[in-house]
Chain A
Amino acid sequence: MKLRVHLAQFYPKLGNIEYNMEKHIEISGRAKDKADLLIFPELSLTGSNLMDLVSEVALEKNSKILNPLLEFSSNLDIIFGLVELGENNLFYDSAFYCSKSSLKYVHRKSFLSSPRRSGGKDYFSSGNNTGVLNADWGKLGFIISDDALNPVSVLPFIQKNPDIIIIIDNGLSFGFSSDTGIPKSALMWKNLISLYAQIFCSYVIYVNRVGFEDGLNFFGGSSVIDPYGETIISCPYFEESSLDVELDLQTFKSRPFNLSFNRERLESILRNLKDEI
């Protein structure tokens, strides 16, 4: 099984769904004939540092505003990020997976960032999905930004063994690194996604945004990592960009050191942990 993926590293306008939707439509139009899966960054429809705008840009699952993307998804699977107005009027930092003209899966961010950012606990509620989806082309593991920093988020991947782990991010640029020209935060993410690829013997697709919001700067650097932890291809830092990649999902299936799941061992660890807590 080969999967053609289009990564859209773009710069959403903060709080401007109309503009951002136009960009999504434009990018979807470019991708539809050359990709099977199109991936946008976290909160791609709204921007990141929303603060009180969260309630004003939130959309329900059945919002008509999303129809153009559902239409494109008739023959192009699309993942995009938005503020979701969920049940009980709670807001979620969500990723929607659209396929065959319908919303197939909603993944909600669990571990919320510090309050200074839109992902903060002041505004959003925590999701509790496992983050694993059976798509037509294989098994997909989902992570939204800082969830990747908490190992609990990836626990389901031990059992489910996804073919691809997709991380969508609003990754901030900060800190000085030893690697000239690249922020410390970008190097941290590079190392982390390489580690996940190796641990789970899976492709990792990392899609980040770029641009500035109130001085916050998002570094981009979207990339695709193979199960050995090597970067196959990546977007430049700080620039709007896109890239196409074709992944052979069979190639690594026969790796002799593929992750072998031991249910008894995992259950034993969880049981012990529960006792200790």
Chain B
Amino acid sequence: MKFKIPFDPIYTKDILVRFIRDETRKFGIDKLVIGLSGGLDSSVSATLGVDALGRSNILGYVLPYRTTSQNSIDDAILMAEMLGVNTELIDITPMVDAYFKGETEDRVRRGNFIARTRMCVLFDKSYQHSALVLGTSNKTELLLGYGTIYGDMASAINPLGDLYKTQVRMLAKEIGVPDKIIAKPPTADLWVGQTDEGELGLTYEEADEILYRLVEERIRPELLLEMGYREESIDKIVYLMRKNQYKRTLPVIAKLSCRTIGIDFKYPRDWNN
């Protein structure tokens, strides 16, 4: 029988809407800014944000670079109009190109810079509007490290961080994200023709199933092999998870004092709620 990752979209939606509302308002803030890419994750996060705080408190930003596909821009605007949120389109091409001045053809360097430029804009807008940045990174991306540290991985609160990509798809159906956005191939859209699954060499279905077995069920890789999962996929996922652990942590600090931040100076984020 085909394995199915457990999921309850009704419970998930309920918790995530409460989470966004609570973790925003407890700091005396009632607005969120979000980057709308036209993809699945930002569409789901934005919809949850609207449910949590109301459309007038969600500020959407469409932040295309010159290589961003028109289809992505159209879908981002479609989503913004559907949700009825105030949205601004800011072309980040001048910012990115002013830095590189044509010096690099390294698409990964440029892609990371694009992601970090978007982050800069979103955090600036969050300050301007006394808002928090709503995150869009899902658990699959976080575990595989498929994202730019201090770029798209940065946010103030992230409702999708404990949901695998395939669960985000199921949630999207529950909360009414248009089918065309759910069905299209996921892409960071950092260069022409880029797709997540093409770059990873794995489908999200396969990656999520293996990740679920490894992370939630704590099944060891050698047992997964015996269970019939592809060795190449298991090895790649284990490698990426370990290699990218640094992306899921704060910068490491050398211990000198008696109480070192992150080691033995530990306070909850909600300390000042």
A-B complex is real: yes
One of B101-109, B118-126, B182-190, B262-270 contacting the partner: B262-270
Q: Which residues from chain A contact B269 at a C-beta distance below 8 Å?
A: 214
A176 contacts B6, C-beta separation under 8 Å = yes
Complex Cα distance, B266 from A15, in Å, reads 13
Given contacts A212-B18, A215-B19, A215-B23, contact A14 B268 (CB under 8 A): yes
Cβ of A217 within 8 Å of any chain B Cβ, yes or no, is yes
Quick one: which of B6, B12, B23, B267 contacts A212, CB cutoff 8 A? B23
How far, in whole Å, are A217 and B23 apart by their CA atoms in the complex?
11
Q: Does B225 contact A (CB under 8 A)?
A: no
Contacts of A180 in B (CB 8 A): 8, 10-11
Q: Is the CB of A14 within 8 A of B11?
A: no
Does residue B273 face the partner (Cβ distance < 8 Å to A)? yes
In angstroms, Cα B23 to Cα A50, docked, is 16
Give the CA-CA distance A53 to B26 in the complex, in Å: 18
With A and B bound together, what is the CA distance between A117 and B235 in angstroms? 32
Least CB distance, B48 to chain A, in whole angstroms: 14
Given A14-B273, A50-B268: A212 and B8 interface contact (C-beta under 8 Å): no
Can you name 13 A-B pairs with beta carbons within 8 Å? A14-B270, A49-B270, A50-B268, A51-B266, A51-B268, A176-B7, A180-B11, A212-B23, A212-B26, A215-B19, A217-B18, A217-B19, A238-B18
Which 9 A/B pairs are nearest by Cβ-Cβ distance? Answer: A176-B6, A51-B266, A212-B22, A176-B8, A14-B270, A214-B269, A214-B268, A49-B268, A181-B11
B250 to chain A, nearest CB (A): 14
What residues of A have a CB within 8 angstroms of the CB of B74 in the complex?
A: none
Per-position 1/0 for A14-26, Cβ under 8 A of B: 1110000000000
Tell me the minimal C-beta distance from A197 to chain B in angstroms: 26
From residue B133, how far is it (CB to closest CB) to chain A in Å? 16
Q: Is B3 an interface residue (CB 8 A)?
A: no
Interface residues of B in 95-115 (CB under 8 A from A): none
- Would B271 and A15 count as touching, CB distance under 8 A? yes
Residues of A within 8 A of B (CB): 13-16, 49-53, 173, 175-177, 180-183, 211-215, 217, 238
B271 adjacent to A212 (CB under 8 Å)? no
Enumerate chain B interface residues (CB-CB to A < 8 A): 6-8, 10-12, 14-15, 18-19, 22-23, 26, 265-271, 273
Determine which residue in A50, A51, A53, A215 has the highest number of CB atoms from chain B within 10 A of its CB, and name it: A215
A177-B8 in contact (CB<8A) = yes
**How far, in Å, is A107 (CB) from chain B's closest CB?**
25
The distance in angstroms between the C-alpha atoms of A212 and B20, with both chains bound, is 10
**Neighbouring A residues of B11 by C-beta, 8 Å:** 176, 180-183
B268: chain A residues within 8 A (beta carbon):
14-15, 49-51, 53, 213-214
B18 to A: closest C-beta gap in Å = 6
Q: Which residue of A lies closest to B167 (CB)?
A: A176
Closest to A15 in B: B271
Docked Cα-Cα span, A177 to B11, in Å, equals 9
A51 touches B19 (CB 8 A): no
**Does the CB pair B273–A13 fall under 8 Å?**
yes
A207 CB, min distance to chain B CBs, angstroms: 20
